[in-house]
Structure formats: C-alpha cells, structure tokens
Structure 1
C-alpha cells in the first residue's frame, strides 16, 4: 500500500497523536452541539433520550408551514380567521400572540407570532387554516418527522403543550433546526432572528410589542435562531443557531432550572463551540483532486472530481495535523462512466473518525481496443498484473 501525504490549500496534512479536545460541562441534563457545515457532533449529553420539547416543538409546526409555502400551496398573504372556539381555548393560555376573536390574520403574521413570541394561539389558528384541523396538521408534522429520519420524536399538538405523546430528543430537535435552515434559507432569514414583533393592541389602544425570547440574540455574534421552550415538566430549553465567519453551529439544551440558567448555559455552549472548533474546507465542489490510473481503457487515467465541497470540523489545535488522501482500488477497470463513483476523498483529524467524500469520474473512459488489450494481456503474462493502489496522492489546489 502506498501512502502519500501532501500540503493542501496552505495546510500540511500529516499524521499525529490524538488531539486533546477541551472538555465542556453544563448543568443541563440534555445537551447537543453540531456543526451545520459538516454534521460533526461537537458535544452531546443524553442526546437521544426522549424529553418534553415544550415550545421547541413549534419548530416542526413552522417547518411544515414553510414546506407548504415553498411548494406554492400556501402564500404569506393568505388570511385565516380566528374562530370563536379556538379563541376561547387559547386566549391568554401560555404564550400568546393576543389574537382577537373573528380576526382575519395573514399567514405571515401568524408565523411571526409563532417564531418570535411563541404564540400558542397562533399555532392552532395556523394549523386549522392550513390543514382544516389541528390534528390533521399534527399528522403532517409526524409525516415530516418520519421523512427526516427522526427516531426519538413524536408530536401530539402544534404548540408543544404538555402531553405524554409529545416528546423529542435533543438530536432530533437539532435535525429539525438544520433542515429548516437548509431547506428554506430565505424563509428562515425572514422569520428567525427578528428582535421583536408587534401585533394587536391593549385595552387602551396601545400596540402590543413583544421581544424575541431567543436568549443568545445580541449576546452571541451571528445568532439568528431558533426556538425557546419552557414547561414545568420540561424545565427551560433552547434550540439555538449562530453563524460566525462562514461557520454555523446548532445547539440544543433542555431541563434547566431557570430562564437565567438557560441564557447563561446557551451563551456558554455556543461560545465554547466557536472558540474550540473550526470548519476547514479542503476542496470545492467540481475540483479535480487526482487522476487515477485506468486498466484497459481508451485513456491511461481518469480525473477524480468532487460533487460537493469537502470539509472537516475539528479543533483549532488540529489545524496543522490533518491528513487528506484519495482512496481507491486501482487501476480502475474500463469502461468508466462520467459521474460514476470510483474513489473516496478521506480527511482525518486526530482523535476523530475520518470524514469521507465520494469522488466521481470526471470523464467517460471506453474500453481499450483489441490490440491494446492483447498487449496488456501479454505484459500481464510476462511481468504480472499491476498492483492495486489503495491510497493515492491528492492534487494541490
């Protein structure tokens, strides 16, 4: 086996001892931190244990609504009427948008009422308007959860109101946040991270303005989401996200004893994540990272191309200790179709599992003609077949 380690994009990728990752401690019984760029889990504590999500469950309510908007079946300026039954059930019950009975409210205002001020009334009115009933909308939420691959979550309502059938894990909540950010970037930017929302008026006619409850807005640079939660059973929780210098992190905390503890622990975890870890991009989508030898082909080599950006999230201390290699069994036999996966780009950091990206053939390579194959067969008989290479060089960029 041949092993070649090269400099890449100004970094030296070489083997080293295990990196010493700084530890993190939190009083939260449930915690999770992930890189949105690479999916690398940076910290976890009871991340797969089902727990009451409280109002963090509203992220799935918003996700389903965003999906309808993206598909064109719902528009932001569509209006929904607040029914007397819903008004009686949710008027001043928990967090509220202060929707008046009989009012016609746009989908846009209802979404602001859910995202910014966590209005329970807004959730139920939106669900009834978009799906006919809250239960029908909840069915859509659970369908979406299944499609996302959530394994420790189930939704019983649109509000996160305490219910034995309403539960989610910290990892699943992070997945919902990530999917919202990635699937609906424009809608996410429009609705999440808004400092306050004004809707309705007091008995004296003054406008009602409520602040965003996000505990890291204005405290962590680049904070723009996502959703707080609190019930007596669940304690105080928060699913948060921030982006700094092109790097996005998503975090989940739950089970904290107070609003102050939620703020302190949320800021502490997010700042620790940005301070300790960084995403290093090795190569861009479409880059030819190597040329692999071809066996019995019309060309001697085939370019190996990335179909996505290649990156790894690791500790800042590991920056000079990364290893990048191209892995394949070759020479690669012809015929080869352009776009066919024929190799892998493997990035390794000390103390972490390797990150693997598929490498695709950048060109078609037909089988060699009769005489070329005959000559190759003769050489094989005389000198032996070429030895397969398991690791090859990475072309610098």
Structure 2
C-alpha cells in the first residue's frame, strides 16, 4: 500500500512540474530536430544568404504560399490597379470540397487593388483565379508567367500548375525556392505593404453588401486578447503568407526585421498553423541572436576619410589634413549591413567592397567648412539602386598667400585666355632673351675652358720634346 502511494505521489509531482520541449531549446543552439515542420529555411532577406535549413530541397506541395507569386505578378504586371474587374464563372470553378474563398459572385465588380488585398487576407482561391484572368486573359496563360518568373528569380525545383495552390501532383516547390520568391517579392514596396495586411473589408458592390476578412496569421502579427494565442505573437514579424491543404500540411512563409537585420523564413508540412508560428519564432530568434546589423554611416564614423589639401596656409595646424564627414542624401534609404556576431571585420570588408567615391572639386585651398568635396556611393547587395552620400569638409582650410600657381591653374589660364599671344613688353623681352643669354654664356664658358686645356696640353708637349733632345 505504501509503495503504491509513493508511486502515485511521484506521478503527481512529475505532472505538476513544467514540461515544455520548446523551452529547453535555446535559440543559440537551434537544430533541425527542434522544428516540427518537415522542411524549413531561414535566409538573410538583404543578401539571400542561408542562415539555417532543414530539408530545404525536398519537394513539397506549397499550398497557398503559391499566392506570393500570384500577388507579386498582379502588382507588377497588373497596370492600373484601380481598374474594375468583373468576376467570371471560370474564376469560381474550383475543384475542391472546401476551398478558401473571398467569396466572389459571378458578375461582381471589384477593383484589381481590392481583389489583390482580399485574395491575400482571405487566401481566396476564387480571387487568385480572377487575378490570373485579369492579368493574362486565361488562368493557364498566367501559370506560364508564374513559371517563367520562378526561373528568372533562380528557382530550380518549382513548377506551378495553378494560381491558387490547391493540390495537383505536379504543383511543387521547396523551402529554398519559396524563400527565393518571397525575397524577390519583398523587394517590391507595394508587396511589402500587402505582406503585413491581416484585415480587409470588401466594399459593398453590385452583388452584395461586402464582407470583413481576417487572415490566418493575424495572431502572429498582432497581440491577441485570447490567452492561449498570446504566445504566438512576434513583435518583429512583418508577415507574408499562410498555406494549407491535406497533402501539403500547414505552411508559412514569414518575414521579420529587427535593428536593421531582415529575415525571411519558410516552414512547410507542419501539423498546424500554431506549430508553423512556433517554428517561425524559433527561426527568427536564432537569426536575430546570431547576426547583427550596422550601417554605412556607423562604419564611416569609425573610419572617417581624411585627405591632404594643397596650397594650405602656413599657419594651418593640421598642415592641410582635412577630415570629411558623411551625409546621406536620402534619409530613408536602407544602408544596413548584416554580419555574424563577433565578426566585425566582415562588415568593414563589405563596406570596402560595395562603396566607391569620387571628388567633385580640386583638393586645394581655399575650402570652407560644410563644403561638399565629393560623393560616396554604396550599392546594397542584391540591389541595383545606389545610395549616395555627400563627403563634407569638417573645417575650413585657408589658402597660402603669394603662392606660385599650380600646373592645373596655369593650364586652365592658358585654355581660357582669348589671346594666345601675350602683349609685347620689356618684361616679355627680358623673359624671352633669358634662354638665349644663358646659352651664349654657357657656350662662351665652354669655349674658354676648351681652349685653355688645349693650350696647356700644347705647352706640356713642347717641354717634353725639348727635354728629350737635349
């Protein structure tokens, strides 16, 4: 009896203790086995560098994460987003028992802009079909554009057969390819705004009174008032797209940003959205704990450029040495560099590799404090849009008085002088005669030296001859 009671008390004690496998894993030591999703990947959104992966190249069904490509092409190829689209019967013909819908009705009028937003938030398959028809005329024509874009972006294992992501044996992708597509999409400003959208209201229209929509990842992007949902909120998350069908499992492509570090994650074939969000949090925590960010301006402050100015005044204490400060022309331009913690030299290496500068004026006095001396240009990794900074004089440098003109000044004066022949003057005559006079003097001296040596040699020869015959 006593033994049974002891066993019972032991079991009760074990149940009372907190037991969470998720809490035992520190983000610094993330392993593939720590994730419930069967495939996952984490990349640096700025460079595309892979930071963590788990079976990232295994073929999976992407489900509604397919709509990332659908929405991106709608934004970039849709033209006038405020034009009205009329819902066709073909857009509503969906072969699935319980498809996600906006829903739309045949003949319903909706702007392309609202259609894009409603499709993203509701994950509406009818909306994806209507987008395809609006862009390409036919759904299959749009699918061809999706596959062309995937190849263009660098995907190697992706094949789309529809615009919505419902199951098809040949509709496949990988975690790696979906990260590539998401990274490309997040370069687009309009898509970035769409990515964070979790609520949308379809306006009253010619067919119905409209509808309020809520996305599946709202609890991940916004704090919930429901206690059991609080743990799935991630303050640094930007969001992107959920996906699910029975063959694909639960999927989520996410994005987050903290202190200049931008990340993109993919989790595929999980058992629930909450598992997806939990895995995504682990991936983001791992990324943010291993990588830090700095900016071009911060690196420059530690290594400011100093140049030597010519023609400086003799009382200049720095002897013409001038330090330049940096001013970013576009304050909103993102110039952050991401590097592994503890590897500060990597950021400096990338700074030197991706920056170049040119001076916009001669490096000679006088120079006024605050004057623009040159331009530094930084081209972010993975971008073709340069960010420019002014190189500004931190102090004034006065010019030395009665200084001889430089070669550049002489050349500039000669090029701008309208009269190539200077006016005649006594000074000019004197200057022109100096070389002739110098040549004459030197020639005379050489002649005298030569004749003197010759006479001396002749006298020595006569003395020797006389001594020989005596």
TM-score normalised to structure 1 length: 0.66
1:83-162 correspondence runs (5 A): 83-89=88-94, 93-162=98-167
**CA distance change for structure 1 residues 286 and 162 in 2, over 3 Å: closer, same or farther?**
farther
1:362 deviates by 4.2
> How many residue pairs are counted as aligned between the two chains?
298
Quick one: distance in 1 between partners of 2:126 and 2:81? 18
Equivalent residue, structure 2, for 1:367: none
CA contact (8 A) 1:37 1:279 kept: no
More strand by share: 1
Matched, 1:277 2:291: yes
Query: Paired residue for 1:357, among 349, 353, 362?
Result: 353
1:176 maps onto 2:185 in alignment: no
Distance (whole Å) between structure 1 residues aligned to residue 112 and residue 346 of structure 2: 48
Query: Does structure 2 conserve the Cα–Cα contact (< 8 Å) formed by 1:220 and 1:270?
Result: no
Choose the corresponding residue for 2:60, options 51, 64, 68: 51
Alignment check: 8 A CA contact 1:310 1:357 kept? no
CA change 1:91–1:48 in 2 (3 A) is closer
The structure whose RCO (Cα within 8 Å, separation 6+) is larger is 1
Match of 2:39 in 1: 30
- Could you tell me which residue of structure 1 aligns to residue 265 of structure 2? 251
Q: What secondary structure is seen at the aligned counterpart in 2 of 1:262?
A: helix
Name stretches of at least 5 consecutive residues in structure 1 with no aligned partner. 1-19, 292-307, 326-344, 348-354, 365-397
Alpha carbons of structure 1 residues 358 and 197: separation in structure 2 relative to 1, 3 Å: closer
Report the CA distance between 1:356 and its aligned residue.
8.5
Q: CA deviation at 1:207?
A: 5.0
Structure 2: gaps spanning 5 or more residues: 1-26, 223-232, 307-333, 361-470
Tell me whether 1:213 sits opposite 2:235 in the alignment: no
CA gap 1:309/1:263 in 2 versus in 1, 3 angstroms: closer
State whether structure 2 residue 360 is matched by structure 1 residue 346: no
Partner of 2:379: none
SS in 2 for 1:238: strand
Secondary structure, aligned partner of 2:81: coil
Q: CA RMSD in A?
A: 3.6
What secondary structure is seen at the aligned counterpart in 1 of 2:221?
Answer: coil
Which of 199, 202, 227 does residue 241 from structure 2 map onto? 227
Match of 1:15 in 2: none
CA distance in 1, matches of 2:299, 2:162: 41
Higher helix share: 2
Contact 2:253–2:266 (CA under 8 A) maintained in structure 1: yes
Cα pair 2:75 2:191 within 8 Å, conserved: yes
